[in-house]
Structure 1
């Protein structure tokens, strides 16, 4: 993975974690959380052996004080239904990849873990540390198969086998432009009429002319370029060799030589020279949230999903509104960022799969994992809407993971008061309607060109921020970038990726 792609993926996960409470809770497809059970425990007169599972997952809030109390309630459900008890093991996000890989290497007891691209998923598969899940899914994964579109379930396949199961969550994004509603209303800027970058430019000009103390456009995150949150291709993991338009007949191109990229850079340069862009964007260390809170900016290019405006409005403390610039698109990277996997050394893989499957079909379990104990950590406002109990806040709540997007089927989770109670139905429609990349499910094995990828990534890291923030003249600098990329071995990487992509398609991988 290129440094740019790795940075985007990692920061994307951080932003996902920090904004988790912006998409809290929800309803099933019927609008209310169902109480469907997962795989039932075997019947019979003899007591059944209880399998104990260690379940490791990432957290940005540490270990909740009431974790064991919630765990006890979870185990009442799981022992009754599937003869399983769980030991929940939240691990700090920053240490997650290293700690889990150490535990896997040392054969420490792990029965179910969060896996994904930012945490070394491909390496874990190649080292044989994860089990193929196909047979387990066939035997114990009925809820998973019912909840997940096969396109998303099959996206984690390596050499024809499924190694990870993504949560039911937002599995697509749309290009967008997010802006302050007060300023948009003040100057008659209608988000519904903004459909292209030309329309965005017209809005930026208004703000530049009318609000001299406000920067019209800022990056969508610290260390991001203006194009980090604007997609026109499937980067297929490392961004070295891409599919324009998410198709292109599965023929890869060098994005840095493409007419689309050259045109985007020219636009960024013209916006920079017109004063529409944050001038120090190439060295900016402030997030879009910080800059917006400080009343320094009007808007930013964004990755949209249902509920995004409400999420950003809460984080910023100002009402935000977004214009959609593209149809939603789903790529392999969306799926591989966060998944669940079963370690090869798991004590009882069937028990691990039974618990994983229960997270996709049992609303009571899902809401315990997401929100804790009713009456203690939340109270119901209506059937599928909740709030904190009187005197309790997010900061004082004893079970404050706020990661409903992680634990199985998010569409079974309650919605917090103030959220759209129909958010999960809208999210399902968003996922279903998304354009699926023609390379959905393809993952490159980078081992044979890892030296070239490292060299190419170093070159990209030297250039992409200054180019994609408009800070330099692309007519002069872009040719320099491409010359150095070729010298670093870019053509060899693309050729190898194309070879693997062709073989994948020939073997039936192509949708």
Structure 2
């Protein structure tokens, strides 16, 4: 299998450098493939660029605590941590402590650990905390550590992607190497959709879903046609939120419009929330969807739901099938596009890390070492996964194990570099090439690479965030009537200073566009 892992890494170097922000990282691929192939063959050898002449195995012992979302059993996380630590101890005298927290409670856990000073070194989080975490001092810049402790990250991540995770000239986050383009859609159980007798071949918009949902309700009266995930639903749109906070390009597939607007005040948003409220009144959306404390996939797996809104990408059907245990049908409802925000999974170094350089070192190794990345993603061979085809690097669940009972579910997209990991059965064998092609196919936002700095309007940002938390999920899931709630939402945003944020974001965007023209 190590022979396969070396080949997988070498191949991934050739297919992963989209453009984060538009261009391939040509010129370094051959050298990177060569050096990383040798590092993957033996975990006891020194990763060439990462170590140079230094023997990092003589460092003082240190434990890197890593925080990532996704339900998993504590004992399984401990077992996976021990397997990963065997690699890291030999090369770096470092122990890895993986802590996983359920998606629903993860944001609160991150806030608690960052504010309490509890030991934490490296963490996953979404793009939406980036600017505030930088300005609040919750994460530390990686700049001074990368050349010595993370040189492979510097080599393998295109500068255009680094630009999307930098602020004021400093690199603050490692972007996950995954799909960085997105389209939005709807997923449902194929067997149930077929049983309705509805011709679903021409579903292209959210409106087009209505006949299928109504037929599903009639055919399966005890199953909700649409379920929510932890109180929220994806919004089918092509807006670019320009990095974080309120203030968006309404349609970033239009290169000629760089006007920053309050997306919640647009007709696009109004149409979506009115439609979803109407569907709730018809019984097509689970009641009180904004109060749902379960993942939508779990509800579908339990037979409570027919479908859910989702992002779409190559392999999304297989990914959802792992979680729902059912064959899933996915409809794409928006164009494929990319923006700074679409580099959405970022890896940060916490301000409370005692040794940030060791955290960077671990990130560097996970990003480039297929054996280590596969342990972190998939767990223990024979318990959480098993090899189905060694020559092709295809894995699946062992007998008696599935996405509902495994103690360590696999979420490749959440880790630093899924492109060097195994392919799960059910996914296309060339899933990583398809992912690269998907990235290349995306319409690129005219603001791609722009990083928003909210430091001058932090009070308004905080106030508007509180207003959003009051209304956004309730409106987006059809749980409250937009006829009264939407005007109240917009007024409270104005009172909280939304126009100040939009004005400042427009000013910064205009300056960035001028300097990049």
TM-score in terms of structure 1 length: 0.76
Deviation track 1:340-382 (CA, whole Å, cap 9, x = no partner) reads 4386976583x65554333333323323443456678755331
Q: CA 1:248 to 1:272, structure 2 compared with 1: closer, same or farther past 3 Å?
A: farther
Q: 2:440 aligns with which of 432, 436, 455?
A: 432
Report what 1:370 is aligned to: 377
Q: CA 1:51 to 1:415, structure 2 compared with 1: closer, same or farther past 3 Å?
A: farther
Q: Which moved more, 1:321-330 or 1:281-290?
A: 281-290
SS at match of 2:368: coil
Is this contact kept in 2: 1:152–1:166, CA < 8 A?
Answer: yes
Structure 1 Cα separation of the partners of residues 480 and 374 of structure 2: 50
Q: CA 1:447 to 1:135, structure 2 compared with 1: closer, same or farther past 3 Å?
A: closer
Deviation track 1:106-165 (CA, whole Å, cap 9, x = no partner) reads xx7x7x522535795445533556554456556665543554344333211101221111
Deviation track 1:277-311 (CA, whole Å, cap 9, x = no partner) reads 33443544454235434544432222122222223
The offset of 1:507, in angstroms, is 4.2
2:235 counterpart of 1:224? no
Q: 1:207 aligns with which of 211, 216, 223?
A: 216
Structure 2 Cα separation of the partners of residues 462 and 188 of structure 1: 40
Q: 1:35 aligns with which of 25, 34, 37?
A: 37
Report what 1:155 is aligned to: 164
The offset of 1:96, in angstroms, is 4.1
**Mapping 1:10-409, distance limit 5 Å:** 27-28=8-9, 30=11, 35-37=37-39, 38-40=47-49, 41-42=51-52, 49-50=58-59, 52-59=61-68, 60-61=71-72, 62=74, 64-67=77-80, 69-75=82-88, 79=91, 84-93=92-101, 94=106, 95-103=109-117, 113-114=122-123, 116-117=125-126, 121-126=130-135, 130-134=139-143, 137=146, 143-145=152-154, 147-189=156-198, 191-208=200-217, 210-211=218-219, 213=221, 217-225=225-233, 228-246=234-252, 249-341=257-349, 347=355, 349=357, 353-371=360-378, 379-381=386-388, 382-383=390-391, 384-387=393-396, 400=408, 402-409=410-417
SS at match of 1:66: helix
Is this contact kept in 2: 1:378–1:389, CA < 8 A?
Answer: yes
The offset of 1:88, in angstroms, is 0.7
Report what 1:5 is aligned to: none
Structure 1 Cα separation of the partners of residues 133 and 485 of structure 2: 38
SS at match of 1:452: helix
Q: CA 1:372 to 1:465, structure 2 compared with 1: closer, same or farther past 3 Å?
A: closer
Is this contact kept in 2: 1:252–1:494, CA < 8 A?
Answer: yes
Q: CA 1:322 to 1:47, structure 2 compared with 1: closer, same or farther past 3 Å?
A: closer
The offset of 1:466, in angstroms, is 4.7
SS at match of 1:186: helix
Q: CA 1:203 to 1:162, structure 2 compared with 1: closer, same or farther past 3 Å?
A: same
Q: CA 1:88 to 1:47, structure 2 compared with 1: closer, same or farther past 3 Å?
A: closer
SS at match of 1:203: helix
Is this contact kept in 2: 1:256–1:482, CA < 8 A?
Answer: yes
Structure 1 Cα separation of the partners of residues 484 and 56 of structure 2: 75
The offset of 1:443, in angstroms, is 3.8
For the aligned residue pairs, the C-alpha RMSD in angstroms reads 4.0
SS at match of 2:450: coil
Report what 1:502 is aligned to: 510
The offset of 1:494, in angstroms, is 1.5
Structure 2 Cα separation of the partners of residues 422 and 365 of structure 1: 21
Structure 2 Cα separation of the partners of residues 395 and 483 of structure 1: 43
Size of the alignment, in residue pairs? 468
Is this contact kept in 2: 1:222–1:285, CA < 8 A?
Answer: yes
TM-score in terms of structure 2 length: 0.75
Structure 2 Cα separation of the partners of residues 470 and 389 of structure 1: 40
Is this contact kept in 1: 2:56–2:93, CA < 8 A?
Answer: no
Gaps of 5+ in 2: 1-6, 14-32, 40-46
Q: CA 1:140 to 1:253, structure 2 compared with 1: closer, same or farther past 3 Å?
A: same
SS at match of 1:234: coil
Is this contact kept in 1: 2:143–2:171, CA < 8 A?
Answer: yes
Q: CA 1:217 to 1:92, structure 2 compared with 1: closer, same or farther past 3 Å?
A: same
Structure 2 Cα separation of the partners of residues 486 and 28 of structure 1: 50
Is this contact kept in 1: 2:81–2:97, CA < 8 A?
Answer: no
Is this contact kept in 1: 2:80–2:376, CA < 8 A?
Answer: no
SS at match of 1:89: strand
Q: CA 1:473 to 1:355, structure 2 compared with 1: closer, same or farther past 3 Å?
A: closer
Report what 2:461 is aligned to: 453
